[in-house]
Amino acid sequence: MTSDEHKEGIRGMANPSRYGIERVAYLLMRLSGLGLLAYFVAHIYETSNILRGQVGWDEFLELTQTTEGHIFLTVVIGMCVFHTVNGVRVMLGHGGVGVGKPTRPDYPYDPASQNYRHKIGIYSAIVLAAAAMMYGLAVMFGE
């Protein structure tokens, strides 16, 4: 009973458990978008250390050479790949591509827009992100 409007609120919006993989993709897209935005800002700040010359640059770069730094970068890689691949899917969908054609619906009314093409897109984004993260881990920790 958060308000008179009885809106479900952020908790309901961010609950990925009820409406299939499409709602999971929606949540991951939002989180990765915001994560990338945060990384982007931090990245500009980080690279601006070049103004402090070679020493300042090297000092800051060492932050990413720690275990925590490696894990952080792995998450960034995952967000990047998921956001890009799923972003292409969402943009196509938003343009009406691959969302099915209107017909005369029949019981049990499986919605045509929630089809295998978009599901494949979502699972590809997840699998590619996971693969890129593993590659990143292998490179960073494999040295």
Query: Site residues (CB under 8 A) for another protein?
Result: 1, 4-10, 12-14, 18-20, 22-23, 25-26, 29-30, 90, 93-97, 99-100, 102-107, 109, 111-114
SS3 28: helix
Tokens of 58: 């090297």
Report if residue 98 touches ligand HEM, rule: CB under 6 A: no
The answer to whether 85 and 128 have CB atoms below 8 angstroms apart is yes
Which of 25, 29, 77, 129 is close enough to bind ligand HEM by CB under 6 A? Answer: 29
Which of 14, 27, 37, 50 is close enough to bind ligand HEM by CB under 6 A? Answer: 37
Report if residue 91 touches ligand HEM, rule: CB under 6 A: yes
Which of 25, 81, 83, 129 is close enough to bind ligand HEM by CB under 6 A? Answer: 83
Tokens of 16: 């990925």
37 binds, among ligand HEM, another protein, none (CB under 5 to 8 A by kind): ligand HEM
Which of 13, 14, 34, 131 is close enough to bind ligand HEM by CB under 6 A? Answer: 34
The answer to whether 49 and 60 have CB atoms below 8 angstroms apart is yes
Between 17 and 67, CB nearer to another protein: 17
Report if residue 124 touches ligand HEM, rule: CB under 6 A: no
Rounded Cα–Cα distance for residues 120 and 101 (Å): 18
SS3 24: helix
The alpha helices in the chain, defined as continuous H runs, are 9-13, 20-47, 53-61, 67-94, 116-142
Amino acid 57 reads W
Report if residue 87 touches ligand HEM, rule: CB under 6 A: yes
